Amino acid sequence: MPAMTEPKLIAGNANQPLAKAIARRMSLHRGMSVNLVEARVERFNDQEIFVEVYENVRGEDMFIIQPTSNPANDNLMELLIIADALKRSSAARITAVIPYFGYARQDRRTKARTPISAKLVANLISEAGIDRVLTLDLHATQIQGFFDIPVDNLYAAPVFALDVLHTFRDRLSDLMVVSPDVGGVARARELAKRINAPLSIVDKRREKPGEIAEMTVIGDVTGKTCIIVDDICDTAGTLCKAAEVLMDAGATEVHSYITHGVLSGPAVERIRNSVMKSLVITDSIEATEAVRATSNIRIVPTAPMFAQAILNTWNGTSVSSLFDMETLTPIYEGLYSR
């Protein structure tokens, strides 16, 4: 679709720093100022969410930047209500930019009489008048099929690969990419291919949710610098235990690259005291003060990638081109200069 107007950004309260960073990157790309649309998103005394958009959006191509992270229900409702406000204000197209898609872990029925909440959320988003979704590293890629609207699922692997190649440039031959469970092998293999490293797996067996009964390393990690790759780190129990198991199996160092740093409950304290040398996360979820203050947690930006994806969506050009490191390298120029 040919672009007739400038893209316009609006943000909820879930991750204002990321929204502003995306606007700054788009300003650089466009050679003109791109600002967030002025609006107020607030709560009444009974915690009802109210949205008022102060600018004219009639006929505009709108992008709502709102991860549905903690508090998931509040942030989801903000997204839906902003979309309704824009739809009733005659916006031409509404794209939901959801860096972290909450409820994604409820993507199937694990036992009798349980919901598939990810499908319910997809229905809510579609019914709110949103025309397209742009997200990052869905927990299960088949969630794209839950939507009856187009979904572009970006991947953190190319950005992580750039970071790994820069950070470990003096010892690339010693690297071993590790999946913390069998279900994440495809995600780990993707990074391993990009950095030309071998792959190992930590097989875990759970007795019940939240508890890990046994972990076994599949593959020889002796003398290796291990890089654990996953999409979500919540309480960090599995991650820290996997790091210990790898060190016991002969690894020299363990680092982790996790897309979405949920980091709830005791997670930050566990990571601070872990044998892991570093945990690298993206800014898809706004970091708490505790996360920013932890020396072995590092945050890589997603704003350059999201800014380009928004511009490509607006222009009607390929978003999948951002899956390639060759495309992302100039976008991240300066951050990973050799």
Classify residue 1: in a domain, yes or no: no
Percent of the chain predicted with pLDDT > 70 = 95
Report residue 211's pLDDT band, with 50, 70 and 90 as the boundaries. low
How high is the pLDDT of residue 139? 94
Tell me whether residue 131 is annotated as binding: no
337 domain-assigned: no
* pLDDT band at residue 1 using 50, 70 and 90 as cut-offs: very low
Q: Is 48 part of any known ligand binding site?
A: yes
Closest CA to 7 of 124, 95, 125: 95
* Mean pLDDT, range 250-276, rounded to an integer: 97
- Whether 35 has a pLDDT exceeding 60, the answer reads yes
- Residue 204 is among the residues annotated as catalytic for this protein: yes
Evaluate whether residue 204 is within a structural domain.
Answer: yes
The CATH number for 144's domain is 3.40.50.2020
Q: Quote the CA–CA distance of 223 and 250 in Å, as a whole number.
A: 6
Residues 117 and 17 in one domain: yes
CA distance 271 to 235: 9
Going by C-alpha positions, the residue among 87, 63, 19, 123 that lies closest to residue 313 is 63
Query: Which region among 31-40, 66-75, 127-136, 147-156 has the lowest average model confidence (pLDDT)?
Result: 31-40
| Residue 146 pLDDT greater than 50, yes or no | yes
Of all residues in the chain, the percent with pLDDT exceeding 90 is: 85
Please give the pLDDT value at position 172.
95
pLDDT at 32: 83
220 is in an annotated binding site: no
Q: Within this chain, do residues 104 and 131 fall inside the same structural domain, yes or no? A: yes
* Same domain as 150, residue 162: no
Give the burial string for 39-48 (b: 16+ CB within 10 Å, else e).
bebeeeeeee
Average pLDDT, the chain: 93
- Residue 337 pLDDT > 70, yes or no? no
Low-confidence winner among 134-148, 206-220, 245-259 (lowest mean pLDDT): 206-220
Q: Does 113 belong to an annotated binding site?
A: no
Residues 128 and 106 both lie in one domain: yes
3-state helix, strand, coil in the chain (%, to 5): 35, 25, 40
By three-state DSSP, how is residue 73 classified?
A: helix
Residues 296 and 165 in one domain: yes
* Per-residue pLDDT tens over the stretch 80-114: 999 999 999 999 999 999 999 999 999 999 899 99
Does residue 125 fall inside a structural domain? Answer: yes
**Are 164 and 287 in the same domain?**
yes
> 206 among the known binding-site residues?
yes
Beta strand pairing status for 175-179 and 151-154? Answer: unpaired
Co-location of 27 and 133 in the same domain: yes
The verdict on residue 64 lying in a domain is yes
* 146 and 36 part of one domain: yes
Same-domain status, 63 and 107: yes
The reply, when asked if residue 294 is annotated as ligand binding, is: no
Q: Is residue 284 part of a domain?
A: yes
Q: State pTM to two decimals.
A: 0.94
Please check if 248 is assigned to a binding site.
no
Shared domain for 124 and 170, answered yes or no, is no
Q: Are residues 39 and 73 in the same domain?
A: yes
Catalytic residue among 204, 208, 241, 277: 204
In terms of domains, do 54 and 82 share one?
yes
In a domain, 336, yes or no: no
Which alpha helices (H) appear in 168-236, and where do they start and end? 185-195
Structural domain range at position 203: 157-300
135 is in an annotated binding site: no
Domain total of the chain = 2
Name the residue with tokens 């391993």: 192
Instruction: Say if residue 230 carries a ligand binding annotation.
Output: yes
Q: Is 317 annotated as a binding residue?
A: no
Mean pLDDT of 147-152: 96
Q: How far is CA 308 from CA 24, 154, 302, in A?
A: 12, 11, 10
pLDDT at residue number 2: 46
Q: What mean pLDDT is predicted for residues 66-76?
A: 97
